[in-house]
Amino acid sequence: MNFQLTEEHLAVQAAAREFAQTELLPGVIERDEHQKFPAEQIKKMGELGFMGMMVDPKYGGGGMDAVSYVLAMEEISKVDASASVVMSVNNSLVCWGLETYGTEEQKQKYLTRLATGEIIGAFCLSEPEAGSDATSQRTTAEDKGDYYLLNGTKNWITNGSTASVYLVIAQTDVEKGHRGINALIVEPDMEGFAIGPKENKLGIRGSDTHSLMFTDVKVPKENRIGEDGFGFKFAMATLAGGRIGIASQALGIASGAYELAVKYAKERKAFGVEIAKHQAIQFKLADMATNIEAARLLCLQAAYDKDSHADYGKSGAMAKLFASKVAMETTVEAVQVHGGYGFVKEYHVERLMRDAKITQIYEGTSEIQKIVISRELLK
Ligand code: CAA
Ligand code: FAD
């Protein structure tokens, strides 16, 4: 395995860093405070090719590898994890799912616009009564011949009110269990589709999280992804790659907090010297840097596995499990290094600490990652 980044990788990383510092940093505190979706910034990210990075150029994507995606996700997440979750959902759940399992018609109709960022998508698996236990879906997609009749509620949907394409996982045949589940492409103007109020969240407050209600929504049969009953496997396979995106988000949140802590430690004086001269602070920075490096290697390993068509279920879950723990620990310590200043908004680290927590919850909690990893180890 060779983790030498190519010139292309470095160029993607530099472009993402530049974008994050110049376009996302100004206004990030205000967007967090007012729960403002970064609409203009997401549009620009689409123009720069960050919304469909790995999609084949024939569908409008960047044709890049997963390593490039990890590098870009890290840089964007250092500054604005609300923007990076939009990027992650669009790239690794919606675009990847459609490109890998969609029909040519579905790709032409939806993927071409999703990959350029002209529109964004949402991935709708979780429900009020079914989060980790994803097979116990209550939402039903009744087979009515040439359409499915969709009824039920999805919870916590990222891009809930801003998406133009929703990939909805629903139960068609309860008796078949997970083999009776389908994945359907739903558009927001379909009759019977309603969007609940925006969630008021601890972190990633700029992102747009809603419940969705479906009442007798008629979804044409041609909007089903894959064969009848493939919906649960579609969700699992898609999430396996999505976890690399969220692992990279966690990595970015950690490395963003670390960089701020180093800068502050060199500026702030206490007892006549910069606090960076106190060994207690040096040791915190050493721990942070070591953990971040290990998290980065796990993210790159998972991306490398994906790029080389090896199985990445375990490595992606390991990357997410570890990087999200590192994000939590590093951001808490970065606040500590900043002392009282770390507790107020303008120094950014308190936001990163709040944003870090979600990486241990969505796209499978840390406990679920351990289930995925241990099943692989023991099989
Ligand atoms: N690829 C393809 N198929 C897979 C798969 C994968 N990676 N993993 C499992 N499957 C298949 C299995 O082979 C099995 O099929 P067969 O019976 O035909 O072999 C089927 O899926 C069911 O698998 P399990 O028996 O392992 O299912 P389970 O009920 O024990 O659940 C689980 C497994 C890992 C706990 C799963 O339910 C899970 O991942 N839960 C977490 C849900 C989750 O991550 N939600 C995230 C929502 S999206 C989100 O959060 C977005 C965001 O934040 C921005
Ligand atoms: P539960 O499943 O009820 O879990 C509660 C606790 O029990 C957790 O600690 C969990 O780890 C633990 N637990 C559950 N089962 C086990 C077990 N077998 N062994 C050990 N511990 C267990 N979902 C989507 O589909 N699409 C989205 O776009 C999306 N975006 C989200 C954005 C945000 C901001 C949030 C908060 C959530 C989002 N989610 C989304 C939902 C997210 O994926 C779920 O919240 C997550 O999967 C956990 O499900 P739950 O909340 O129902 O918790």
Alpha carbon of 366 to ligand 2 centroid (Å): 9
Alpha carbon of 170 to ligand 1 centroid (Å): 14
Residue of 126, 181, 238, 360 best suited for mutating to test ligand 2, as the one with most atoms within 8 Å of CB: 126
Cβ of residue 123 lying under 6 Å from some atom of ligand 1: yes
Predicted confidence at residue 3, as pLDDT, reads 75
Q: Which residue of the set 75, 127, 350, 363 is catalytic?
A: 363
Residue of 132, 233, 373 best suited for mutating to test ligand 1, as the one with most atoms within 8 Å of CB: 233
Total Cβ atoms within 10 A of residue 375: 12
Instruction: Tell me which ligand sits closest to the C-alpha of residue 87.
Output: 1
Q: Give me the count of residues in the chain.
A: 379
Contact by Cβ (8 Å): 323, 251: yes
* Tokens at 50, concatenated: 């960050």
Q: Which atom of ligand 2 is nearest to the CA of 204?
A: 34
Cβ of residue 158 lying under 6 Å from some atom of ligand 1: yes
Cβ of residue 170 lying under 6 Å from some atom of ligand 2: no
Q: Which atom of ligand 2 is nearest to the CA of 364?
A: 47
Cβ of residue 161 lying under 6 Å from some atom of ligand 1: no
Q: Tell me the per-residue pLDDT of 335-352, one tens digit each, with 9 for 90 and over.
A: 999 999 999 999 999 999
Q: Which residues of the chain have pLDDT under 50?
A: none
Q: What is the 3-state secondary structure (H, E, C) of the chain?
A: CCCCCCHHHHHHHHHHHHHHHHHHCCCHHHHHHHCCCCHHHHHHHHHCCCCCCCCCHHHCCCCCCHHHHHHHHHHHHHHCHHHHHHHHHHHHHHHHHHHHHCCHHHHHHHHHHHHCCCCCEEEECCECCECCCCCCCCCEEEECCCEEEEEEEEEEEECCCCCCEEEEEEECCHHHHHHHEEEEEECCCCCCEEEEEECCCCCCCCCCEEEEEEEEEEEEHHHEECCCCCHHHHHHHHHHHHHHHHHHHHHHHHHHHHHHHHHHHHHCEECCEEHHHCHHHHHHHHHHHHHHHHHHHHHHHHHHHHHCCCCCHHHHHHHHHHHHHHHHHHHHHHHHHCHHHHHCHHHCHHHHHHHHHHCCCCCCCHHHHHHHHHHHHHC
Known catalytic residue: 363?
yes
Alpha carbon of 346 to ligand 2 centroid (Å): 31
Predicted confidence at residue 361, as pLDDT, reads 98
Alpha carbon of 147 to ligand 2 centroid (Å): 30
Q: Is the pTM of this model over 0.90?
A: yes
Cβ of residue 363 lying under 6 Å from some atom of ligand 1: yes
Backbone angles phi, psi at 373, to 5 degrees: -65, -50
Amino acid identity, position 32 = D
Residue of 236, 315, 358, 363 best suited for mutating to test ligand 1, as the one with most atoms within 8 Å of CB: 236
Give dist(CA 303, CA 165) in Å, integer: 26
**254: Cβ contacts below 8 Å, ≥ 6 apart:** 288, 291, 292, 295, 323, 326, 327, 330, 331, 356
Predicted confidence at residue 1, as pLDDT, reads 62
Residue nearest to atom 31 of ligand 2 (CA): 156
Cβ of residue 249 lying under 6 Å from some atom of ligand 1: no
